[in-house]
Amino acid sequence: ALLQADARSEIEMQGLSRAQASPLQLKSIFVSPELKASVNDAQRYTLSEDQEISEFFSRPGKMHRIFGEAGSGKTTLVRWLEQGHWSKGNRFAVRCELRLISKQKSLPNMLDLVDQSIPKDLRGPLSKADFKRWLDEGKMLVIFDGFDEVSQPNRTKVANWI
């Protein structure tokens, strides 16, 4: 788990020359956003502290959608959530890039998705059996990132698959 946390802790600074663009630690530049959350029309509230944001998205059995304009920090937020889960050691997260997944001939089942989303060189001794156990026990946060990057013709197929 610590290997995953370390591997997921850097963020590339795109658009800069190589000399200017050394990777930065995500935790050193991440600023918690103020999120507006609504469970239904009657229950709306604001999340602004790291812990309450993390806890809101960490509840087992819940599905959340994050909306925002391009460049508003959705991917940075989910990378932060992913890293936070791995660094805690007893909870695990995997961020699945829908842009890449949607190009596959057939969409994978959940276990295969998790298995293919964690690079083999970063997983250490973790196996597919470990992933299955964590999914069954509700200890894994699965993050689908980049729905807005899925080509228009594939969006309905991907939305139904999720």
Condensed to tens digits (0 to 9), the pLDDT of residues 32-45 reads 777 787 777 677 87
Distance, in Å, from the CA atom of 153 to the CA atom of 104, rounded to the nearest integer, reads 14
pLDDT for 65-96, tens place per residue?
Answer: 888 888 888 888 888 888 877 666 667 788 88
**Dist CA 82 CA 27 (whole Å):** 12
Q: What is the pTM of this model?
A: 0.71
| Cα 83 → chain centroid | 9
Q: Tokens 């925002």 label which residue? A: 68
Instruction: Summarize pLDDT for 57-72 with one digit per residue, the tens.
Output: 877 777 888 888 888 8
